[in-house]
Structure 1
């Protein structure tokens, strides 16, 4: 039990650090995601998931948004693995490069909105035999 408590404390400290040291792109995108501005969806920033922390997550619609900087160009295998883990847990994952937030913010917001709307649709039920 003590190991889990230590791990939780480390994750909480890491979350706090990441929030305080957000990238310019994260701060910019957060301005459009916070306060249920996007289709009424509640986003969290620096949300823990397993052993890692998601940049942005909408839990009720199971949508994760990751912003990737230059360091991710070298870590594609890890990012792909992480995306598969999230998808296996039922999340849709959207990945954008940091520079896209500044160069095409409206385009990114349209992609996010479309994903939110798609994930808000009720799951069709199978007709009874």
Structure 2
């Protein structure tokens, strides 16, 4: 499911939450078109796989089951990790990317995000950022 989600992003780009030009609906629409495009190609060789890919993408996008919720939470947590890495590498704050923490639902992933935030606070304080 995570791979299917990321495949769509490879065609349309990884649109971030704070992009002022593309709202959530437009992002979803672009990714759905990308999935349909890929499924059209795949269906020529394996219709069942094409259908499964499409359903996995819809599961993720609509959050239809626990698996999709966890995958989405991991995707958000990965964004937090990547942002913190960029902050450490470039020694500058990137606060605009941290709003995604509030949408994480899984308690274990929330706990990991909290731990990351504690590390970030130490880093920001130590580097006077």
TM range (shorter): under 0.3
- TM-score normalised by L of structure 1: 0.26
- TM-score normalised by L of structure 2: 0.26
> Higher strand proportion, which one?
1
> Higher helix proportion, which one?
2
Larger Rg: 2
